[in-house]
Amino acid sequence: MVNNRELHKKDEFYKKAKLEGYRARSAFKLLDIQKRFNIFKRAFYILDIGSAPGSWLQVAKKYAEENIEKYKDQFYHRDHFKIMGVDLKNVTPIDDINIIKSDITTPEFQKKIDIFFLNKIDLILSDASVNKTGNKFTDQIRQLNLCYKILEIIQKNLKNKGNTVIKVFQGSDFNKFTRDMNILFRNLKSFKPKSSKKQSNEIFLIGLQKI
């Protein structure tokens, strides 16, 4: 009998992540989103919520470095990037990235954002997820509560015309959350990357150009 660990190691995206040096297969979710929506365009200041194990931070750093060379024009440009990753778990350090262990709902976390970014965040990412109980209804409600907390951070800290990506679980209140998020952006898209597992009820909401 094949266990889940053995199935994971046979997974196409697990193998690809190992081959390309990413910490987890989840990197390809963000790469798929970027390919479809170009969320990293002119993104120099980036916040990643729920960073463990760090694969999205690796992707963010790749595009931030490229942007410094790519966007040397009279429009919005920077000669440096700032990336912060936050999680309740420990995340192995990555060069040139500020990784903190913190609860995102605390005033202390907001202070850290203020000091680090100076109210200039171009892109906020969230692959954050609650610990699943196995009950899809309960997990969806708990994930939705987390998403609303993240949406408050987005509303307060993402700059005008900034982009965001947030993971949501599909369920009874998904449409309400979509409507609430849609108010903040000129364009809102829902997307399930190829690398998301077929049995997963996760879906990503991509907010483009914050109002």
Answer whether residue 50 is part of any domain: yes
Q: Domain of 135: which CATH number?
A: 3.40.50.150
The tens digit of pLDDT for each residue in 19-30 reads: 777 898 999 999
96-114: average pLDDT: 96
Of 42-46, 79-83, 158-162, 199-203, least confident by mean pLDDT is 199-203
Handedness of CA 130, 95, 210, 118 (dihedral sign): positive
Answer whether residue 69 is part of any domain: yes
DSSP 74: S
Whole-model pTM: value is: 0.91
Cα–Cα distances in Å, from 58 out to 12, 21, 76? 19, 9, 23
User: How much is the pLDDT for 94?
Assistant: 98
- Output the six-digit token pair for 27: 């990197």
User: How much is the pLDDT for 41?
Assistant: 97
Distance CA 92, CA 98 (A): 11
Of 167, 189, 192, 198, the active-site residue reads 167
Would residue 198 show up in a list of annotated catalytic residues for this protein? no
Answer whether residue 66 is part of any domain: yes
Answer whether residue 170 is part of any domain: yes
* Confidence band of 131 (pLDDT split at 50, 70, 90): confident
> What is the SS3 assignment for 6-53?
HHHHHCHHHHHHHHHCCCCCCHHHHHHHHHHHCCCCCCCEEEEECCCC
119, 157 Cβ separation under 8 angstroms: yes
Distance CA 18, CA 16 (A): 5
Domain encompassing residue 189: 31-210
Answer whether residue 25 is part of any domain: no
Answer whether residue 10 is part of any domain: no
Number of domains in the chain: 1
Of 8-17, 25-34, 37-46, 168-177, least confident by mean pLDDT is 8-17
